[in-house]
Chain A
Amino acid sequence: GQNIDQPTEMTATEGAIVQINCTYQTSGFNGLFWYQQHAGEAPTFLSYNVLDGLEEKGRFSSFLSRSKGYSYLLLKELQMKDSASYLCAVRRPSGAGSYQLTFGKGTKLSVIP
Chain B
Amino acid sequence: DADVTQTPRNRITKTGKRIMLECSQTKGHDRMYWYRQDPGLGLRLIYYSFDVKDINKGEISDGYSVSRQAQAKFSLSLESAIPNQTALYFCATSDKRGGRYNEQFFGPGTRLTVL
Contact = CB atoms under 8 A, between A and B. Distances in A.
Among B33, B42, B106, the one with the most A-chain Cβ atoms within 10 Å of its Cβ is B42
B58 interface: yes
Majority DSSP secondary structure for residues of A touching B: strand
A45 B48 contact: no
A102 B35 CA distance: 11
B55 to A, nearest CB: 12
B56 A43 contact: no
Interface string B3-22: 00000000000000000000
A106 B104 CA distance: 17
A42 B107 contact: yes
B44 A103 contact: yes
Contacts, number: 44
Nearest to A50: B101
Interface string A41-61: 111110010000000000000
Interface string A31-44: 00100000011111
A42 B108 contact: yes
A45 B103 contact: yes
B90 A43 contact: yes
A57 B45 CA distance: 28
A105 B41 contact: yes
B43 interface: yes
A45 to B, nearest CB: 4
B20 to A, nearest CB: 20
B109 A41 contact: yes
Contacts of A43: 43, 90, 106
Interface of B: 33, 40-45, 48, 50, 56, 58-59, 90, 100-101, 103-109
Interface of A: 8, 33, 40-45, 48, 87, 89, 94, 98, 100-106
4 closest pairs, A vs B, by CB?
A: A105-B42, A42-B106, A103-B43, A45-B103
